[in-house]
Structure 1
Amino acid sequence: MLDQLIDKAARLLQQPSTQEFMTAKLHQWLRTEYRRLEKFLPTQWLSEQGAQVATRAIVSTIADINEDPHHPLRRSFDRYVAQMIRRIEHDEQTGEKLQQWQRALLDNETLHGYMGQVLTDVRGYMQADLAKPDSRLRHHLQTMLKEFGDTLAENKALNHTVNEAVINSAVYLGPQVSDFLTSHIRTTIENWDEREMAEQIELNIGKDLQKVRINGTIVGGLIGGILFFLERGIDVLVSLA
């Protein structure tokens, strides 16, 4: 996660729009804090140079962190994450704060509406992209699944781990899913009235019932015809005797 953050930060800082934003902020700060200097010094030029110097310094620091796996900032980050994990696991006060934040998020109607709109927008984007012949999302999914399949085929240890995880999940979820489905089906059928029951039967197995009726009629007619001819044959034989 830290490597990805470092890479994203480096790319963001190197974009012209970011440097323009930093220049504007520096220029605004100089004009606000040092109004008199603007009459004697080229504050716009100083802002541009300051933004470039700051960008180079930050990018250089990020590059040092990215190239050195034992960089002090990396170790500080690891220590901070380890401390947070321990506090979450063992500190009751921290756990209570997290629960309060969780309840506040769950009860925030504005956040619910915003997240609902985000999900709607994401779903619309995905549907529009997947409808295209050159869908980028489909291409990424295919590439990701192919790479994952190749990794599973080559890495026997990972293959075994994934198989064990699937088996353990099936063993754990199987009884629960079975009980849920059985209870859901039973409750649903019990709540049906006679008309709804007839509609569901006709909808799901009506064609099969029609076949049974037709087959029954044909088979019954054949058996009746055979019995009739047998009876007539016996009568003929008896009359000849």
Structure 2
Amino acid sequence: MRALTRGPSEPGASGGNGDNEENGEAERAEGADGEVAAGARTPASAPGAAPGRRGPKGRGGSGGPGGIGGIGGFTAADEERRRGVRRMKTIATGALLLMATVFALAKWAQHAGAGGWTGYVAAAAEAGMVGALADWFAVTALFRHPMGLPIPHTAIIPTKKDQLGQSLGEFVGENFLSEDVVRARLRAVGIGNRLGAWLAEPAHADRVTAELATALRGALTVLRDSDVQAVVSEAITRRAHAQEIAPGLGTMLEKIVGDGGHRRIVDLVCERAAHWLEVHRDSVMEAVEGGAPGWTPRFVDRRIGERVYRELLRFVTEMRDMPDHPARGAVDRFLSDFARDLQSDPETRARVERLKNEVLDRSEVQDLIASAWSAVRSMLVAAAEDERSELRVRARTALLSLGMRMANDGRLQGKVDGWVEGAAVYLVTTYRDEITSLISETVAGWDAEHTSKKIEAHIGRDLQFIRINGTVVGSLAGLAIYTVARFFGV
């Protein structure tokens, strides 16, 4: 009957991932206990069929068992489970046939006058058949229409798959994705303590360091230099334009002058100036002579040049060798006044701001800012690739230190646990609907017939035990009822 419901030209008729074996072996096993598989392949127009779940490749657009949104084909483990289900079906059906045989023999013996015991055996066998048939109906109704008849409330999984998926999503959301459950579970795990103990192991710290280095190299490789350079340049320029630098420069200069830090610069300038004058005496003389009036005699110009040179050299030399030289005091006063002007004089501050903006807007400065990223990137990549680099050594040391602290510091463990719990609770409470809808929508996208077979492969073996137990319990119940009835003479 199964073959009659699907023509050879219908898409999916040949099945996939073991479906050929299913069309043969499953048919034989189902036929052994009277189950007609045509109920599982009821045409879309038949009563009870799941609307919109069939069609070319799609049975609901899932693309077949292994298609988009599908539950996937049968694996080797699934095929082994299905063979186990078929074996248990054979045993359960055999128990039913055994009860029928015993019932027939007991009735024959009863009519033949074999004795009163035949009534007890017949009652037990009859009740066993009833129990076996009832449980066969109940188990079969989960996956297909018994005997192919569209009996209401049968083929529950194929016809109620979407509702089951919705209920499953709601169940998961209410019982697994609640704030209390997440917090209690994470608190019981003790992530801070475990993570600290794990990181405190040198091998684990090495592994994390290597993974971080790989991630850093990957990120730097993916990033486009031009994009990063534009972002860095724009960020630095915008912040520099927005931030007034004159007061800060004035405060820094005032502190430097107060601490005497500028004196080394003055010493260096005086030393370099004295050395330059000693080396370039002729240049100074020529400069003085060249600036003299044309009507003065040349020897007078030379005498004036020599006098000027000696005075300049004496002044610079004295300033270099005398810490308390008046010119040094004048420099101190100038710098102190300039520091105050930078902090409080509006005109000075405005001039400094104009100068700053002019410098920042120059193309050379923009190119320098942009090129800084290339240097930083090359440095980071080289450091990430070198296992002995200072970056990786420091990262490993920091991880080991963090792990030891987390393993021994209860307060730090509590903080880490709190952070993890907070993050998990935020994700759960924010995206709970998306998570549960993922479950329900995924189940809704599965092919109903294939899903039913997949579930039956996983739980069908245990369900067949229900049939066997029904046969045994039914026969015992029938025997007990018949015994009680005979005892009271009913």
TM-score (ref. length: structure 1): 0.34
Higher helix proportion (structure 1 or 2): 1
Q: Which one has a bigger Cα radius of gyration?
A: 2
Larger RCO (CA under 8 A, 6+ residues apart)? 2
